[in-house]
Amino acid sequence: MSSVASSPPALAWSVENCTLGRTMAILGERWTVVVLREVFLGVRRFDDIRRHAGIPRQVLSNRLAALVDHEILNRVPYQADGARTRHEYRLTAKGLELQPVLLAISAWGDRHLADPGGPPTTFVHRGDCEQPVHVEVHCAAGHRIDDPRQVATRPGPGVRPFEG
Amino acid sequence: MSSVASSPPALAWSVENCTLGRTMAILGERWTVVVLREVFLGVRRFDDIRRHAGIPRQVLSNRLAALVDHEILNRVPYQADGARTRHEYRLTAKGLELQPVLLAISAWGDRHLADPGGPPTTFVHRGDCEQPVHVEVHCAAGHRIDDPRQVATRPGPGVRPFEG
């Protein structure tokens, strides 16, 4: 049973101009990634996520169930004073590993889809540092790769012929 | 007018066990990102993309049109010997910038959704190096961040209050 946390700070910020949501609206269906964004933001309770992200109740219910099925989120009971037991959603280790995906999506969105005033959220190195974070592409030999054309695709260990 | 390229090598590999496609099936609608994967793989022509990825014709047509609208892809005419003019799709600079997103999605899929034999494709540093590439999270102070919990969300320049 989780302790009753105070309201997550991010719940005070509108996600209406969120660049991750805008990028996913281009890249496909946005709701699942938007649900993950909320949990990464610390918004973990059904009604908080629903109100904050403006997700229809049934859609949110389906997306959360799928994310729990895929072991990306855990469903953890909590109980507020005098209320019945409810559940909040926490990232599993597998779910936390999606963070670079969300950071990469947000970075592209910040660059190409933000309002003139800039994006609503930034991601920083927690603690004393507080500097903004970003994703970089590196190779196993330790080179940093800035030019996407320096990345080539090769057949992997599981490659199978394409039979057309 | 583009010259007539030989068949892209990746067209010989099946994408049936592609971990990027599997990840996007969890994260939302997969087709748009699958189309981008094909173009990043060098599969640039409508019929090649359609056959290779197994995308319904009308879906592919819609996704390509949207990606051109968003200036992620350019539509470039080409002419094979004796055939009528056709078009192929090339990544714009804005589209190339999506590469870290695709690499991050693929890495997560490789780790969690690959067949026992491994994923069908790998991404390497092109040229003499040929070492596999990956995304890393860094902060502006130069720290590499391995633990997702070291990343915190802060209000950005465009933050607006959430009115509930």
Q: Which residues of B touch A162 (CB under 8 A)?
A: 11-15, 52
Contact A12 B162 (CB under 8 A): yes
pLDDT, mean of residues A108-114: 89
pLDDT of A135 over the 90 cut: yes
Report the DSSP beta bridge partners of residue A87. Answer: A77
Report the DSSP beta bridge partners of residue B88. Answer: B45, B76
User: What's the pLDDT at A150?
Assistant: 96
Contacts of B89 (CB under 8 A, 6+ apart): B39, B44, B45, B46, B49, B64, B67, B68, B73, B74, B75, B76
Q: Say yes or no: A92 contacts chain B, CB-CB below 8 A.
A: no
User: What's the pLDDT at A123?
Assistant: 93
User: What's the pLDDT at A72?
Assistant: 94
User: Strands of A144-145's sheet, edge to edge?
Assistant: A144-145, A133-139, B133-139, B144-145
Q: Which residues of B touch A153 (CB under 8 A)?
A: 10, 40-42, 121-124
| Entry pTM | 0.90
Maximum separation of any 2 CA atoms in chain A, in Å: 62
Q: Which of A80, A71, A16 is nearest to A45 (CA)?
A: A80
Report the gap between the CA of B1 and the closest CA in chain A (Å). Answer: 21
Q: How many CB atoms lie within 10 A of CB A150?
A: 18
Q: Which residues of B touch A52 (CB under 8 A)?
A: 162
pLDDT of A5 over the 70 cut: no
Q: Which domains does chain A have, with CATH numbers?
A: 9-150 (1.10.10.10)
Of the partner residues B101, B130, B141, the one whose CB lies closest to the CB of residue A129: B141
User: What's the pLDDT at A60?
Assistant: 95
Q: Say yes or no: A117 contacts chain B, CB-CB below 8 A.
A: yes
Contact A160 B17 (CB under 8 A): yes
Q: How many CB atoms lie within 10 A of CB B113?
A: 18
pLDDT in tens, A29-45: 788 999 999 999 888 99
pLDDT in tens, B10-58: 677 776 766 777 777 677 778 899 899 999 988 899 998 998 888 899 9
Average pLDDT value over all residues in chain B: 87
What per-residue string of b and e applies to B37-64 under the rule 16 or more CB within 10 Å gives b? Answer: bbbbbebbbbebbbebbebeeebbeebb
Of the partner residues A40, A120, A161, the one whose CB lies closest to the CB of residue B155: A120
How many residues does the structure list for chain A? 164
User: What's the pLDDT at A90?
Assistant: 96
Contacts of B138 (CB under 8 A, 6+ apart): A133, A134, A135, A136, B144, B145
CA-CA distance, A130 to B15, in Å (whole number)? 41
Q: Which residues of A touch B7 (CB under 8 A)?
A: none
pLDDT in tens, B115-144: 898 888 899 999 999 999 999 999 999 999
Report the DSSP beta bridge partners of residue A76. Answer: A88
Half-sphere exposure of A126 (CA within 13 A, CB side): 9
User: What's the pLDDT at B56?
Assistant: 93
C-alpha to C-alpha distances, B84 to B5, B80, B81, nearest whole angstrom: 16, 7, 9
CA-CA distance, B122 to A109, in Å (whole number)? 26
Burial of A42 (0-12, 13-18, 19+ CB in 10 A): middle
- Tell me the one-letter amino acid at A5: A
Of the ranges A87-91, A112-116, B101-105, which one carries the lowest mean pLDDT score? A112-116
Higher-confidence residue of A20 and A63: namely A63
CA-CA distance, B114 to A155, in Å (whole number)? 14
pLDDT in tens, B96-112: 999 999 999 999 999 98
Higher-confidence residue of A43 and B2: namely A43
Contact B156 A111 (CB under 8 A): no
Instruction: Show the tokens assigned to A45.
Output: 């309770």
pLDDT of B64 over the 80 cut: yes
User: What's the pLDDT at B60?
Assistant: 95
Tokens 């490789």 correspond to: B110
Check residue B12 and report its DSSP letter. Answer: G
pLDDT, mean of residues A143-147: 96
User: What's the pLDDT at B114?
Assistant: 86
pLDDT, mean of residues A145-155: 93
Q: What angle do CA B103, A156, A92 make, to 5 degrees?
A: 50
User: What's the pLDDT at B68?
Assistant: 95
Contact A13 B112 (CB under 8 A): no
Chain A, nearest residue to B15 by Cα:
A162
- Tell me the one-letter amino acid at B149: R
Q: Which of left, alpha, beta for A13 (phi over 0: left; psi -120 to 50: alpha)?
A: beta
- Tell me the one-letter amino acid at A78: Y
* End-to-end Cα, chain B, rounded Å: 53
Predicted-complex ipTM score: 0.89
CA-CA distance, A17 to B120, in Å (whole number)? 37
